[in-house]
């Protein structure tokens, strides 16, 4: 292992989270390399001091202080406070009914029959459609194209 790999694994070594083979390799390297051993000692002392330090509990009044700050902020911005009150009281009650009405309107629109155009049957109808749609240029289908074959088949069926 290289020095970089050793140093990346030092915390795992201190927590005994390496495999037996890796632990053995690390111990052998640390016995011969003073810079890696110094780094291990420094990390070890830091790691132990962190585990001995007292865990600080938040103040029991922390949540009350946070709520007071939020209310203070809301009162400085009356628009936010008004919008929140509207959403909580006035607009929340009819919201499900509005959602149902919107879903019904969308369903009615999607379910209603729409004006459908008949498929184009001939080249003259294609030209008429191009004129109707305001297309400036309309290329006639070349005789060897698939489209011309389809037009010929549809014209023969008439």
DSSP one-letter string for 111-150:
HS----PPPP-SHHHHHHHHHHHT-S--PPPPTTSHHHHH
- Percent residues over pLDDT 90 in the chain: 3
Q: What is the pLDDT of residue 123?
A: 72
pLDDT at 49: 63
Do 92 and 72 share a domain, yes or no? yes
What tokens does 58 get? 């938040």
- 94 and 132 assigned to the same domain: no
Q: Is the model's pLDDT at 154 over the cut of 70?
A: no
Mean pLDDT of the chain: 76
Specify if 116 maps to a domain: no
pTM of the model: 0.33
Evaluate whether residue 13 is within a structural domain: yes
Task: Quickly tell me which residue has 């379910």 as its tokens.
Answer: 111
Quote the CA–CA distance of 72 and 42 in Å, as a whole number: 47
Looking at residue 58, its pLDDT comes to: 77
Residue 133 located in a structural domain: yes
Residue 44 covered by a domain:
yes
In a domain, 57, yes or no: no
Q: Residue 30: inside a domain, yes or no?
A: yes
**Quick one: pLDDT at residue 105?**
92
> How many other CB atoms are found less than 10 A from the CB of residue 26?
20
pLDDT of 112 reads 77
Residues 37, 73 within the same domain = no
Are both 40 and 69 inside the same structural domain? no
| Domains identified in the chain, total number | 3
Greatest Cα pair distance, the chain, in angstroms, is 97
12 or 105, higher pLDDT: 105
| Mean pLDDT in residue range 31-50 | 81
Query: What's the pLDDT at 102?
Result: 92
The domain in which residue 139 lies consists of 123-156
């Amino acid at each position: 292992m290289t020095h970089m790999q050793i140093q990346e694994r030092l915390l795992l070594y201190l927590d005994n989270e390496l495999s037996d083979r890796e632990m053995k390799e690390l111990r052998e390297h640390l016995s011969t390399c003073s810079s890696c051993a110094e780094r291990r000692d420094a990390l070890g002392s830091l790691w132990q001091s962190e585990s001995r330090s007292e865990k600080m509990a938040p103040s029991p009044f922390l949540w009350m202080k946070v709520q007071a700050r939020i209310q203070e902020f809301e009162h400085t911005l009356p628009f936010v406070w008004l919008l929140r009150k509207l959403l909580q009281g006035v607009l929340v009650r009819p919201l499900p009914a509005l959602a149902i009405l919107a879903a019904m309107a969308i369903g009615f629109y999607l379910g209603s029959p729409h004006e459908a155009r008949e498929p184009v049957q001939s080249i003259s109808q294609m030209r008429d459609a191009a004129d109707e749609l305001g297309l400036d240029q309309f290329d006639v289908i070349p005789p060897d194209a698939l489209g011309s074959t389809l037009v010929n088949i549809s014209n023969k069926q008439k």
